[in-house]
A and B are shown apart, each in its own frame.
Chain A
Amino acid sequence: MSLLSVRDLTVKFAMRDQTVTALNGISFDLAKGERLGIVGESGAGKSITGFSLMNLLSRPGYIDSGQIEFEGEDVVKMSDKRLRNLRGNRMAMIFQDPMVTLNPVLTIGQQMVETLLAHRKLSREEARQIAIVKLREVYIPSPEERLEQYPHELSGGMRQRIIIAIALLLDPQLIIADEPTTALDVTIQADIMELMLELCQSNQVGLILITHDLGVVSQMTERTLVMYAGRIIEAGRTREIINDPQHPYTQGLINALPQQTVPGQRLKQIPGNMPGLASIPQGCAFNPRCKYATDLCRSRVPDIVQYGEVAVACHEVQRLHSDEDLKEIRA
C-alpha cells in the first residue's frame, strides 16, 4: 500500500474579484521510503502542492476538491486536532529560507523541545536529550551549546541543518522539502542535499523534494513530477524523464540546462513566460510557448496518459516522436 495517495487535488485562491485555480486535478502516489521530485518554474504550483499535503494552506487559498490519503487517512477531511497530530509528527516540512523559518525570539532548544512536547509525553530534559541526539545526526558541532543560542547567532547552512533535525525529531514517515537550498550559498547546497539523502535513506523516510533544479532532482529522487500552470504534465521515473523527456516543456527545461549547452553558445531558453494563474490560456496551458501547438492544443486540455515509460499530458506526443525537429533538438 502506498504511503501517500493524492487524487484529483484542486486548490483555489479566492481573490477579491475572482477565484483562480492554482492546482487543477493533481494525482500521484508515493510509496513508503520513496523519494519524489516535483519540478517546475516558480508559480507552477509546486509549493502549493507541498502545503496542501499538510492541509496548511492559508487564506485566500483552500482545497476545493480531491483526496490526500496519507497512511489510509484523508488529510483533507481531518479535524484540526488530527491535523496537529499529523503535522511535524508523521509528516514534516522543511521550508525554503532558513533565515526566516525559525522564530527569532525563541532559542533553538525551545523550538526543538516544543515540537517534541507537542506530540509526545516527555519531560523537558528527555526532550532536550532527543534534540541533542538529532542535532548530532545532522553533524552540528557542540549541540548542547546550540540549544541555548538564538537563530540569528547561526549561519544559514547551520540553521537549515537544524530545521532538518527538527523535521527528523519525531521520526516521520514523510518529509516535504520546499526548495530547501535555494536560499543558501552554492557551496553549502550540495552538503545539505547530501545530508538529506543520507538521512532519508538510512531512516527509510519518504521525501517530496520541491525544486526547480533538475540536476538536484536527478541526484536525489527516484521519481519525478513535472508541473506547469497548476497541472502535472509529465510523471515517471526520474532517470527516464531526464534522459528521454516526452513533453515539449520538459524537453525545453532539460535543453535549457547549462550542461546541455556547448560552451560559448547561448543557453537554450524556452521562449515566453509561464502564464499567471488568472490568465491561463485555453487548451494546453503551454500552447503559446510550444512550437508544436495545433488547434487541438489551443482548444482542449490534454489528459495525462501513459506513453512508454512515463505519463505525459500532450496531444502531440506521438507526432513529436516521429518528428525530425525533435531528433535534431535531442541530438
Chain B
Amino acid sequence: MFAYLAKRVIQAIAVMFVISLIAFAIQGNLGDRLRELVGQSVSEEVRQQLRDELGLNDSFVTQYLRFAGNALQGDLGTSYFFKEPALDVILKKLPATLELVFGATLIIIGFSVPLGVYTAIKPDSIISRIIMGLSIIGISIPVFLTAILMIFVFSVEYGWFPSYGRGDTVQVWGYWQTNFATADGWMHIILPSFALASIMLPLFVRLIRAEMMEVLQSEYVKYAKAKGINPWRIYFVHALKNTLLPVITVGGVQIGTMVAYTILTETVFQWPGMGFMFLEAVNRVDTPLIVAYLIVVGFIFVVTNTIVDLIYGLVNPTVNIARMGA
C-alpha cells in the first residue's frame, strides 16, 4: 500500500515539476515585469539596477529555484491588474468554479448511471433507442453552443432562469461563497451546471451502457443467473460494480476536460469563476495570473488523478495495491 502510494506521489511530483517549468518559462517570456513595475519612462541605468535587484540577471537555475521556492510558499506573484497576490485572486474565484463542477458532476452521476444501466438491460426498448439517439446528438453539440441555446430558450424566450452571474451567494468560510444557500443562487447555477454536464452526460451514458452490455455477456453473470440470483441483484451488484471500474478510470481523465469546459461555460454565462478570470487575464496579458492559473489547474489535475487512481485501486480487488508498488 505504502509503495503504491509513494509511486503515485512521485509521479504526481514529476508532473508538477514539468508544469512548474512550463509556467516558469511563460513567466520569463510573456510580458515585461519591469514595465509593469515602473513604466517606460526610466533610464537604461536604473533599469539595469532594477534588473539586478529583482534577480532578473541571475542564471536560469537560480531564477527557477527562486520561482519554485516562492511557489511552494504560496507566492505566485502579484497580479498586474488586481494588484493583489495572484494566488489570492484565484482562490477567491475558485469556489465559484468548484460549485459549478460539483453541480455538473451531480447531474452527470445522477443521470448517467440509471440511463446507462437501463439502456444496457433493455437495449431494444423504444425508450432506450430514444435515449441513445439523444445521446449521440448530445455528444455532437459543443458545450458553448448548448450554453447559448439554454440562454436563448430559458432566459431570453421564456425568462425562467437568469442568464448570467452567480446571483445571491452566502459567505460560508474564508473565500468560499456558496450558491446553494439561496433560491436565487440555485436559479443561477442550474443552467450553467446543465450546460457544463451536457456533453459529458451522454458520453458517460454511452460508456456505461457499452461496459454494462459487455459485462452482462460475461461468464460470471451467466453463472449468477444459473445460481438463481434475483435479476436486480445481478444488475446492480454483480454487473454494475464491474461496469464502474473502467468508468472510474475514464472519469478521472474527464476531470481535466471538465475544467476546460468550465472556461467555456463561465464565458457564456459570465460566471465569476477562475475560467472566466483566466480569459480576462489572457486579454490583459496579466502574466502572474496566467502562470498562477496554470499551476493551480495543474495541481487540481494531478491531485484528482492521483485520488482517482487510489480509489480505483481500493475499489478493484484484483488490483493488488501492495504488488503494484513493487
Contact = CB atoms under 8 A, between A and B. Distances in A.
Complex A–B touching at CB under 8 A = yes
Contact of B228 (A95, A101, A107, A118): A118
Interface residues of A, number: 29
B230 interface: yes
Nearest to A107: B317
B51 interface: no
Contact of A88 (B222, B227, B237): B227
Given A95-B219, A100-B219, A114-B233, A105 B228 contact: no
Interface string B223-257: 11111111001000110011001000000000000
Contacts of B238: 103, 106
A150 B317 contact: yes
Contacts of A166: 227
A173 interface: no
A58 interface: yes
A87 B227 contact: yes
A167 to B, nearest CB: 9
Given A105-B316, A152-B318, A115 B227 contact: yes
A69 interface: no
A305 to B, nearest CB: 35
B152 interface: no
| Residue of B241, B315, B317 most packed against chain A (CB within 10 A) | B317
Given A100-B219, A101-B220, A56 B242 contact: no
B206 to A, nearest CB: 21
B230 A97 contact: no
Contacts of B222: 56, 58, 95
A104 B226 contact: no
Contact of B229 (A97, A102, A118): A118
B182 interface: no
A152 B242 CA distance: 14
B219 A101 contact: yes
B49 interface: no
Nearest to B218: A100
Among the interface residues B217, B228, B237, B317, which one has the most CB atoms of the partner chain A within 10 A? B228
Contacts of A87: 225-228
B318 A150 contact: yes
B220 A100 contact: yes
A13 B91 CA distance: 62
Interface residues of B, number: 23
Interface in A60-114: 83-89, 92-93, 95, 97, 100-107, 114
Nearest to B223: A101
Considering residues A92, A107, A114, A166, which has the most beta carbons from chain B within 10 angstroms of its beta carbon?
A: A114
Interface in A150-167: 150, 152, 166
Given A84-B230, A95-B219, A97-B219, A104 B225 contact: no
A103 B226 contact: no
A331 to B, nearest CB: 44
A12 interface: no
Contacts of A107: 317
A105 B218 CA distance: 13
Nearest to A166: B227
A106 B228 contact: no
Contact of B230 (A58, A93, A118): A118
A58 B234 CA distance: 15
A85 B316 CA distance: 31
B318 A104 contact: yes
Contact of B237 (A93, A101, A104, A106): A106
A54 interface: yes
Contacts of A102: 220, 223
A118 B231 CA distance: 11
Interface string B285-326: 000000000000000000000000000000111100000000
Interface string B207-221: 000000000011110
Given A102-B223, A103-B223, A115-B228, 4 more contacts: A88-B226, A88-B228, A93-B223, A104-B242
29 contacts: A56-B225, A58-B222, A84-B229, A85-B228, A86-B228, A88-B228, A88-B229, A92-B226, A92-B227, A93-B223, A95-B223, A97-B219, A100-B218, A100-B219, A100-B220, A101-B220, A102-B223, A104-B242, A105-B315, A105-B318, A106-B238, A106-B241, A114-B227, A114-B237, A115-B228, A115-B229, A118-B227, A118-B233, A119-B228
Interface of B: 217-220, 222-230, 233, 237-238, 241-242, 245, 315-318
